[in-house]
A and B are shown apart, each in its own frame.
Chain A
Amino acid sequence: MKLKKILNDQRVVLTLLTIGLFIFFGLRNSAFFNVDFVIYPLLRDGATLTVIGLAQLCVLSIGHLNLAVGRMAAVSALVAGASYQYWGLTLVQGAILGVLAGALLGAITGWIIVKSQVNAFIVTLAMDFALLGLVTFIYVTFTGATAAFTTKPAGMDYWRSKSLKDFCVAGICGPKSIPMMLLPAIICLILVSFMFSRTRLGRELLSTGSNLRAAKLSGIPVENRVMTAHIFSGTLAGIGGLMLAYANGSFTAAIGSQVMLPSFLGPVLGGTLLAGGAVAVLGTFIGTMMTLVIRQGLSVQGIGLETLNIALGLVLLLALSVGQIQKMFTSIKLRGKK
């Protein structure tokens, strides 16, 4: 009975599936177990995409979408890159500035949505277009043909290439396969999870998402909560953008251009509802890792980019249909009971 309950948990199933896939790909080709070339980059990408998935999750919690999540990440990287190149700020100062830029963009987006009452995905789509032009324009105007900020502040390579092996406490060092980049992701996971499960703010966000009218009638300031969700989304997108830039090694306009699909895949596979009202914070991490294992596994098999895209698109459509089929079965069961 207890086992059945555990197996019914989507997270457990996903974790087992991810581990199964990992072992499957490893057995097919032992190069997949290579720490330096596969596992380390896999976890580093997983960390970045988890943070961006959480950025999407924050707006999904109120039933909105953020199509500009990648471009907000790009702006944050742009601001941080410019501050290193032109104002000579340190790693931390620039990072704070970049994250603040992301939060500001989120606030602007939230404000437009609340004030104009236009659907969130329309506002974020238009935002995406405007930011796309702006970011490219700034890079080209300031740096000419290179179109990148290349100044690396001290400590950037540390985050980029170091692992827990370099982090020793009392002579005991961590495994080489865990990148340092995983730390900020874990902190974000803990904070977001804490907010949704333990604080009043998190519950207010969720009830805004599950039923706007009911939330309003029970005295929740729904307009403020819409703003809050978008500010969180912008902040997390900003953190994700910085992590992308650090992993990349330079600040370019291409940062964040590939994250829109993954940002949905992680939360949706983990069990976050697109309609709002239910989030799966840990599930986002597991879902992200599963898509990355599929992606990396296929590419180690020597399967090209084209098949990867087909596979990932199918995974998204399947994940969405599974939820729908479940709902259908539940309603049939309910009808049968009546």
Chain B
Amino acid sequence: MKLPVFFRNRMTEFSLSVIFIIGFLALVATSNGVFLSRASLQGFLTYLAVPITIGLAQMVVLCIGQMNLAVGTMGGVSCAIMAVLMADHNLPIWLAIFIGLFSATAIGAINGALVVLTQLNGFIITLGTYTILLGFQYRLVKTFTIDKYPSSLPEFGKRNFVGFPYILVIALLTAIALSLFFSRTIMGRRILATGGNPIAARLSGVSNNKSIFIAHTLSGLLIGVASVITISSLPGINRSIGGDWLLASFAAPIIGGVLMSGGTIAIYGTVIAAGVVRLVDIARAQYSLDPSIVSLSVGVVTLSTVALSEWRRRRTERQNEGIKGSP
């Protein structure tokens, strides 16, 4: 059977979309239509925005063949900064949001600079910054829940356009902007080149150090967006924010078809995979299963996706060798 090229290249995205639709319909059917009610649909969509943005934040770093272990605490710290500024220092919302975005971006830039300066794997550097930021997060929030910021922010989080929350619109617009960045700009192309083959990239005049720095900074900016979404979709900020982001941030891009070896991106795949994971979460709540079952299944699916994609890559390589070998 020979599929058209369009489908062959988008097999992961296509099958994920089908899974998403089937899962959605199954949930509607088994809940006797309760899932379609405005309140539960809105809940589903509102809490989809954060997994999408943190998935994208991880994807940007994955595409240069590295990883960012600090996603959770970076988000936690910038949420804490925004909340403290608004609640204790009475800063206007726009300024607080700007500072929150800026601080997340700056932390990303520090990660990138450290990776470039030490020439060590991003994993170990972000493990270090993860720990430091966890300390800052605890110090900022202490054991309280900060909720004394202007109520217009959580109200914005609840606002929607015929059941379609604005914060999800923000997440989707971010995804579109990111997709334009990678497909239309020279810098985006260079980052992908670095991830695909650093030696080839350097020989064609790409500065790998610059790509690594930009990718980590961009990851920081996306985490900033995720924190803004978080602070406007939750009633208050405490020290647990970001604690469960790590697995989600890896699951969406990897299931969506991003290779952990770098050089690929899959923005639609990441978005739709985040949707599928969210459906699993809803299903768990509906059938009142234990939360650990979600991380077990997501972990197993992630592990097998990694193995499968690697197997496919090697098969393609073998086929290419076959082409080269035949006269």
Q: Is the CB of A317 within 8 A of B306?
A: no
User: Is B326 on the interface with A (CB-CB < 8 A)?
Assistant: no
Bound complex: CA A143 to CA B300 (Å): 23
Bound complex: CA A311 to CA B306 (Å): 35
Which of B130, B138, B260, B290 is in CB contact (< 8 Å) with A313? B130
Q: Is the CB of A112 within 8 A of B307?
A: yes
User: Is B177 on the interface with A (CB-CB < 8 A)?
Assistant: no
Q: Is the CB of A122 within 8 A of B118?
A: no
Interface centre among B125, B130, B250, B299 (most CB of A within 10 A): B299
Which of B114, B121, B137, B296 is in CB contact (< 8 Å) with A130? B296
Q: Is the CB of B295 within 8 A of A132?
A: yes
Q: Is the CB of A125 within 8 A of B300?
A: no
Q: Is the CB of B124 within 8 A of A264?
A: yes
User: Is B127 on the interface with A (CB-CB < 8 A)?
Assistant: yes
Which B residues touch A119, using CB under 8 A? 260-261
User: Is B40 on the interface with A (CB-CB < 8 A)?
Assistant: no
Which of A137, A260, A311, A320 is in CB contact (< 8 Å) with B296? A137
CB-CB nearest in chain B for A141? B290
| Interface size counted on chain B using CB atoms at 8 A | 44
Least CB distance from A124 to B in Å reads 10
Docked complex: B291-315 residues within 8 A CB-CB of A: 292-300, 302-303, 306-307, 310-311, 314
With contacts A119-B260, A123-B306 taken as known, whether A310 is within 8 angstroms of B132 at the C-beta atoms is yes
Bound complex: CA A195 to CA B302 (Å): 36
Q: Is the CB of B131 within 8 A of A261?
A: yes
Q: Is the CB of A136 within 8 A of B292?
A: yes
Bound complex: CA A131 to CA B299 (Å): 8
With contacts A112-B307, A123-B306, A133-B298 taken as known, whether A310 is within 8 angstroms of B136 at the C-beta atoms is yes
Which of A122, A128, A132, A264 is in CB contact (< 8 Å) with B127? A264
With contacts A129-B250, A320-B128 taken as known, whether A117 is within 8 angstroms of B310 at the C-beta atoms is yes
Q: Is the CB of B292 within 8 A of A133?
A: yes
User: Is A77 on the interface with B (CB-CB < 8 A)?
Assistant: no
User: Is B123 on the interface with A (CB-CB < 8 A)?
Assistant: yes
Bound complex: CA A14 to CA B135 (Å): 25
Least CB distance from B116 to A in Å reads 11
Q: Is the CB of A130 within 8 A of B300?
A: yes
Which B residues touch A317, using CB under 8 A? 114, 125, 128-129, 132
Least CB distance from B124 to A in Å reads 6
Least CB distance from B302 to A in Å reads 5
Least CB distance from B173 to A in Å reads 30
CB-CB nearest in chain B for A309? B135
Which A residues touch B292, using CB under 8 A? 133, 136-137, 140
User: Is B3 on the interface with A (CB-CB < 8 A)?
Assistant: no
Which A residues touch B302, using CB under 8 A? 126, 129-130
Docked complex: A95-145 residues within 8 A CB-CB of B: 112, 116-119, 121-123, 125-134, 136-137, 140-141
Q: Is the CB of A324 within 8 A of B131?
A: no
Docked complex: A308-335 residues within 8 A CB-CB of B: 308-314, 316-317, 320-321, 324
The contact string, 1 if C-beta is below 8 Å from chain A, for chain B 273-296, is: 000000000000000001011111
User: Is B32 on the interface with A (CB-CB < 8 A)?
Assistant: no
User: Is A65 on the interface with B (CB-CB < 8 A)?
Assistant: yes
Q: Is the CB of A308 within 8 A of B310?
A: no
Least CB distance from B146 to A in Å reads 16
Q: Is the CB of B129 within 8 A of A126?
A: no
Interface centre among B123, B135, B260, B261 (most CB of A within 10 A): B135
Contacts A/B (CB < 8 Å), 14 sampled = A116-B310, A118-B306, A121-B121, A129-B302, A132-B247, A132-B296, A134-B296, A136-B292, A306-B137, A308-B135, A309-B138, A310-B131, A313-B130, A320-B124
Pairs of residues from A and B, 10 with the lowest C-beta to C-beta distance, nearest first: A133-B296, A129-B299, A309-B135, A313-B131, A313-B132, A136-B292, A310-B135, A130-B299, A306-B138, A126-B303
Q: Which residues of B approach A to under 8 Å, CB–CB?
A: 67, 114, 117-121, 123-125, 127-139, 247, 250, 260-261, 290, 292-300, 302-303, 306-307, 310-311, 314
